[in-house]
Structure 1
Amino acid sequence: MQISDLPYPDPGVPDARSGPRFLLWLGRNQLRGQLKSLAWGLLHFGSVAGLPYGVGYAVQAVVDGSGSGLATAGGLIVLLGVAIALGDTMLHRSAVTNWITAAARVQQLLARKAASLGAALTRRVAAGEVVAVSTGDVEKIGWFVEALSRFAAAALTVVLVCVSLVIYQPALGVVVAIGMPVLALAVLPLLPRATRRADQQREKAGRATELASDTVAGLRVLRGIGGEELFLDRYRRASQEVRRAAVRSARMWSLISAVQVLLPGLLLIVIVWYGVHLAREGRITVGELVTIYSAVMILNYPLRHFEEIAMAYSFSRPSAQRAARVLALRRVTEPAGGLRDAPAPTGDLYDPATGVLAPAGLLTAVVCGDPDLAGRLADRLGGHAASAGDGGEKPQPSVLLGGVPLDELPLGVARTAVLVQDKDPVLLSGTLAELLDVPSDGSVPPEEALAAAQCTDVLDALTQASLDDDPMSARITERGRSLSGGQRQRLALARSLVAAPEALVLDEPTSAVDSHTEARIAQGVRALRHGRTTVVLTSSPLVLDRADRVVFVYEGEVAAVGEHRELVRTEPRYRAVVTRETDEETATGPALESEIEIDMEETA
């Protein structure tokens, strides 16, 4: 795979059981690139290691007064210099290619996982962690993959040089062959502590990133309550913890670097002392002594890659672990028979786990006694339920659309059939026209969707802030931060209405708007979605009163079904949820019925 061929047609199915397994999987999938980098690395390091022989041969030729020997040594050194330059250039090229292709593969896998899980991703993994994995962690994973082949080439070079020196000059070669493994393994006792400190640094950095992401996301609210200084102080403390952890980690790596400088120096002292002793006895020539001395000096260069691979692994292992944790998340448990290849089904939307039924073509409102259940139910109705591998949750039967399990449909088909609008929808930056340019059948024009979502004041605000009188060309800032919560909510609702899915699931779509606007939105959605299946999870009486049917879910199961006014009279638990009444008021519920009906009629 070359950089020009990216992105991958298929990044593959990762082994996400652990961080090391994920790194091993990446290495296997880039075997060709790793072998190419290894070959160029052997040429480069081998040529570097061959220089001492040329230098020693030249020194011996000068001692012997041999002109032809000196010319041969000069030619050999020139040839090795060319090989060093070529090998280094191609090694760098192939190693960087491995780094970029590995990073691209990981980013494609993360993007595919994000697209598969949708809004459920940030419910299972903190948004800050997803950002950290897709940015800094990807770089560290790529660093390890890139350094692996260079380390392998350096290690093979060290072994070959030691064997060659033993054959070339056994007396000194044995000393080098014994000393080099000691140098390479001397830092191993320090690596566990260095790795732990690196893990602590990465963990603290991840928490700081999450805190910064959450603070920025809620900055508008924080300013409204005067709490930005409190959160900024928290981030300052978190960043100082990251700094202290980084310093502690750097101390260990500086100690490892010092050991790798000190021990080769001691080995050189031993080599020189023993070599001079052998030369005085006439057991080796001056050229052989220079050759072995130069070889030990040169071997410090490939030995540095032992330190690099240790650092790369210690930093990439926790990064790979986080990436594997994200990639291990699954949307659903795929059936043994595989996914169906069928068009988007139509019909009733039914959840066997709770008993919620949304008949085709009707507006069904769902009231949950547990507010947290509403979000989970919205996920289930959209086919985003957690599988058995996500946090140990027990798998539940698939939601059915027209009798067809959503879990058995390809992801694209399932999302075409059922669209879920999250309780806190996200608006991307761009023009309003770009925001509403979503896949749809074209049956709902943007103008009608905006009118149904009561976006008139939003359009006026966007037009005033724009240089163009056309509101569709007005720009929306990142995540719609220049708009109020209610304005963002209505624009997101308009976007969902334009998509015109077969089944639309709305989770608290009017929680941030006033009661009069809420009533008009409910009427507009009812009229625009006439003949299509719509599910609204809400506890607002104004929305519930305009639903064709209301389903009350209590303790995870359907407890009552009917019209809103009927349930207010006959179901005390339902009345307690939608009117927020206290236990004392529950007993006087019938006396409140007329007041509730009058309030709804006045609002309408």
Structure 2
Amino acid sequence: MQISDLPYPDPGVPDARSGPRFLLWLGRGQLGGQLKSLAWGMLHFGGVAGLPYAVGLGVDAVVDREPNRLLLVGGLLVLIGVAISVGDAMLHRTAVTNWITAAARVQQLLARKTAELGSALTRRVAAGEVVAVSTGDVEKIGWFVEAVSRFLAAVFAVVLVCVGLVFYAPELGVVVAVGVPLIALASLPLLPRATRRADVQREKAGRATELASDTVAGLRVLRGIGGEELFLGRYREASQEVRRAAVRSARMWALISAIQVVLPGLLLITVVWYGASLALDGRIAVGELVAAFSAVATLLYPLRHFEEIAMAYSFSRPSAKRAARVLSLTRTDPAERPAQAGTVEEPAAGGDLYDPRTGLLAPAGRFTAVVCGDPDLAGRLAERLGGHAMEDRDGGDRGGEEEGAGGSDRDAKDCPSVLLGGVALDDLALDTARRLVLVQDKDPVLLSGTLRELLDVPASGAVESGAALAAAQCADVLDALLQSAPDGVEDPMDARITERGRSLSGGQRQRLALARSLVTDPEVLVLDEPTSAVDSHTEARIADGIAALRGGRTTVVLASSPLLLDRADRVVLIDGGTVAAVGTHRELLHREPLYRAVVTRETDEEQRLAGLGLTELEEALTEIEESA
């Protein structure tokens, strides 16, 4: 795999059981690139290892006054220089290629997992952690993958130097062969402490990133309530904790680096002192002493890669652990449907949408409104209707909450998936399930680009962008985009939308997102509070637009607005995690006190007064006045 071939056609299925297993899987996936890098590294380090012996041979040739041999040594030095230069250039090229391709593979895996899980991802993993994994952690993982081949080439050079010295100058070679492994292993006792400090640093950095992400996301609200400085102060404190942790970690790595400098220096002094005494006694030649000195000095270069691989693994292991944690998340519990998931045929068009857990039924081709007293329950229900069942499998809090309210001791895993036309959405291939059922949550995101690009989404082609914009009442949004567009832009479809639509109001962003969903024209459209940020007049027109444009298509809207509920063909009241009542908006207003309380926001006292007769009402009012 070359950089020009990126992205991968298929990044593969990672081994996400643990961080080290994930790193091993990445290394196996790039075995060809690793072997290339190792081959060039061996050429480079082999030249480096051979240089001291060539110098020793040259010194011996000068001492023995043999010009022909000196000429041969000169030619050998030229070859060694070419090997070092070419090997170094190609080693760097292949190592960087391994780094970038490994990082790209991890990013593709994370992007694929994010698309698979959708908004349910942030309910299992903090948004700041996802950001940290997809940025800094990806680089650290790539660093370790590319450092492996250079480390193995450095090991080859160290072994070559030690073995060569044993044969070239046995008495000095034995000293070097014993000392080098001790130098290489001297830092091992310090690595666990250095790793722990690095882990603390990364943990604090992840928390700071999460805090910064949350602060930026809520900056407008913070400014409105005067809490901007409070959160900035918290971020300053978090960043100072990161700085202090980084200093503590750097001190340990500085100590390890110092050991890698001091111990080879002591070995070099020992070799020079011992070699000089041997040369004075005539036991070794001057060329052998020079070769031994040069070999030990040369070892400082490959030994630095021992420190680097230790640092790379120390930093990449927790990064790989976090990446593996994200990549191990699944859309459903794999133990439930290991055989049929993704293999079931697509259901026939015109099927009902049914949720066995709550008992919610959305008849095909009808406009169904769902009322939940709990906004969080409504959000989870919307995700579940879209086939995202993972949020119901991460513990007993939610399940216990629903069990207590519904009087059932069933576990989340005992509840089947939402059914569309009798087929479980969890058993369908992901792209099929997404195409059939589209869920727009209450906080949709607008990507930067032109309005034309925003509406250029996979769609049935039955709904034009103009009709969708009209149904979503986006006329004022088009005018606003055109006014802020640069000179020469006359079509609002060519006007650019800033990142996340920050130049637009909340209601304008919400209506553009609704238009995007309407253009898609899925078989089933699930909308969670699609008009919560617009005024009542606009909301009424949007309700009419949705009902007209989605005629004959299954539409489910989770809302509590009477304007939307009155346009629905049927309204379903969810209480305690199960269906409590079904009917039209007006029917439920008259016969269901709980429904009336949720929709009209009546208090308990107002509900009691509403159920009294005229005489009882007068007596109650008199009682209230006397108590006041």
Q: Does 1:332 align with 2:351?
A: no
Letter in 2 for 1:358: A
Whether the aligned pair in 1 keeps the contact of 2:144 and 2:312 (CA below 8 Å) is yes
- 2: CA distance between counterparts of 1:161 and 1:41? 15
- 1: CA distance between counterparts of 2:499 and 2:260? 49
* Cα drift, residue 447 of structure 1: 2.1
* Cα drift, residue 159 of structure 1: 2.0
- 2: CA distance between counterparts of 1:245 and 1:318? 16
Whether the aligned pair in 2 keeps the contact of 1:420 and 1:506 (CA below 8 Å) is yes
- What SS does structure 2 have at the residue aligned with 1:383? coil
- 2: CA distance between counterparts of 1:146 and 1:440? 42
**1:200-349 matches, cutoff 5 A:** 200-333=200-333, 335=337, 336-340=339-343, 342-343=345-346, 345-346=348-349, 347-349=351-353
Letter in 2 for 1:536: V
- What SS does structure 2 have at the residue aligned with 1:545? helix
Q: Does 1:160 align with 2:160?
A: yes
Render the CA deviation track for 1:452-500: whole Å, top value 9, x for unaligned: 2122222222232224343222221111111111111111111111111
**1:580-595 matches, cutoff 5 A:** 580-590=601-611
Q: Does 1:578 align with 2:599?
A: yes
Whether the aligned pair in 1 keeps the contact of 2:347 and 2:421 (CA below 8 Å) is no
* Cα drift, residue 186 of structure 1: 0.7
Letter in 2 for 1:352: P
* Cα drift, residue 443 of structure 1: 1.8
2:517 paired residue number: 496
**1:70-469 matches, cutoff 5 A:** 70-333=70-333, 335=337, 336-340=339-343, 342-343=345-346, 345-346=348-349, 347-386=351-390, 390=394, 394-395=412-413, 396-466=415-485, 467=487, 468-469=489-490
- What SS does structure 1 have at the residue aligned with 2:567? coil
Whether the aligned pair in 2 keeps the contact of 1:366 and 1:552 (CA below 8 Å) is yes
Render the CA deviation track for 1:430-469: whole Å, top value 9, x for unaligned: 2222222222222222222222212222222223222434
Render the CA deviation track for 1:335-365: whole Å, top value 9, x for unaligned: 3134236446421001111111100011111
Whether the aligned pair in 1 keeps the contact of 2:128 and 2:209 (CA below 8 Å) is yes
Q: Which runs of 5+ in 2 are unaligned?
A: 400-411, 614-628
- What SS does structure 2 have at the residue aligned with 1:587? helix
* Cα drift, residue 416 of structure 1: 1.2
**Structure 2 CA distance for partners of 1:338 and 1:543, relative to 1, 3 Å:** closer
Deviates more, 1:138-147 or 1:565-574: 565-574
Whether the aligned pair in 1 keeps the contact of 2:347 and 2:423 (CA below 8 Å) is no
- 2: CA distance between counterparts of 1:124 and 1:508? 23
Whether the aligned pair in 2 keeps the contact of 1:37 and 1:150 (CA below 8 Å) is yes
- 2: CA distance between counterparts of 1:276 and 1:389? 73
Q: Does 1:563 align with 2:584?
A: yes
* Cα drift, residue 265 of structure 1: 0.7
* Cα drift, residue 501 of structure 1: 0.8
* Cα drift, residue 388 of structure 1: 8.5
* Cα drift, residue 301 of structure 1: 0.6
Identity of aligned residues (%): 77
- 1: CA distance between counterparts of 2:148 and 2:126? 31
Letter in 2 for 1:305: H
Render the CA deviation track for 1:211-267: whole Å, top value 9, x for unaligned: 222222222222333332222222222222222222221111111111111111111
Render the CA deviation track for 1:518-565: whole Å, top value 9, x for unaligned: 222222211211111000111222222221111111221112211222
Render the CA deviation track for 1:139-191: whole Å, top value 9, x for unaligned: 11111111010001111221232222223222211111110011001111111
- 1: CA distance between counterparts of 2:126 and 2:387? 21
- What SS does structure 1 have at the residue aligned with 2:16? coil
1:518 paired residue number: 539
**1:466-545 matches, cutoff 5 A:** 466=485, 467=487, 468-545=489-566
2:42 paired residue number: 42
Deviates more, 1:156-165 or 1:388-397: 388-397
- What SS does structure 1 have at the residue aligned with 2:99? helix
Q: Does 1:13 align with 2:5?
A: no
- 2: CA distance between counterparts of 1:404 and 1:296? 71
2:406 paired residue number: none
**Structure 2 CA distance for partners of 1:13 and 1:591, relative to 1, 3 Å:** farther
- 2: CA distance between counterparts of 1:546 and 1:588? 28
**Structure 2 CA distance for partners of 1:207 and 1:544, relative to 1, 3 Å:** same
- 1: CA distance between counterparts of 2:395 and 2:133? 19
2:625 paired residue number: none
Deviates more, 1:515-524 or 1:307-316: 515-524
- 2: CA distance between counterparts of 1:301 and 1:390? 50
Letter in 2 for 1:462: L
* Cα drift, residue 69 of structure 1: 2.4
1:602 paired residue number: none
- 2: CA distance between counterparts of 1:288 and 1:581? 98
- 2: CA distance between counterparts of 1:59 and 1:125? 65
- 2: CA distance between counterparts of 1:524 and 1:169? 91
Whether the aligned pair in 2 keeps the contact of 1:128 and 1:213 (CA below 8 Å) is yes
* Cα drift, residue 579 of structure 1: 2.5
- 2: CA distance between counterparts of 1:329 and 1:189? 35
- 1: CA distance between counterparts of 2:394 and 2:72? 68
- 2: CA distance between counterparts of 1:104 and 1:277? 56
Whether the aligned pair in 2 keeps the contact of 1:56 and 1:291 (CA below 8 Å) is yes
- 2: CA distance between counterparts of 1:275 and 1:237? 57
Whether the aligned pair in 2 keeps the contact of 1:345 and 1:417 (CA below 8 Å) is no
Two-structure CA RMSD over aligned residues (Å)? 1.9
* Cα drift, residue 590 of structure 1: 3.5
- What SS does structure 2 have at the residue aligned with 1:148? helix
- 2: CA distance between counterparts of 1:185 and 1:391? 45
- 2: CA distance between counterparts of 1:142 and 1:23? 9
**Structure 2 CA distance for partners of 1:324 and 1:589, relative to 1, 3 Å:** farther
For normalisation by structure 2, the TM-score amounts to 0.91
* Cα drift, residue 389 of structure 1: 7.3
- 2: CA distance between counterparts of 1:62 and 1:463? 83
- What SS does structure 2 have at the residue aligned with 1:339? coil
1:69 paired residue number: 69
* Cα drift, residue 92 of structure 1: 0.9
1:601 paired residue number: none
1:597 paired residue number: none
* Cα drift, residue 405 of structure 1: 1.2
Q: Does 1:546 align with 2:567?
A: yes
- What SS does structure 1 have at the residue aligned with 2:510? helix
* Cα drift, residue 68 of structure 1: 2.2
- 2: CA distance between counterparts of 1:13 and 1:589? 61
Whether the aligned pair in 1 keeps the contact of 2:472 and 2:511 (CA below 8 Å) is yes
Deviates more, 1:392-401 or 1:45-54: 392-401
- 1: CA distance between counterparts of 2:357 and 2:464? 36
1:27 paired residue number: 27
Whether the aligned pair in 1 keeps the contact of 2:356 and 2:416 (CA below 8 Å) is yes
1:595 paired residue number: none
Whether the aligned pair in 1 keeps the contact of 2:481 and 2:496 (CA below 8 Å) is yes
For normalisation by structure 1, the TM-score amounts to 0.94
**Structure 2 CA distance for partners of 1:430 and 1:5, relative to 1, 3 Å:** closer
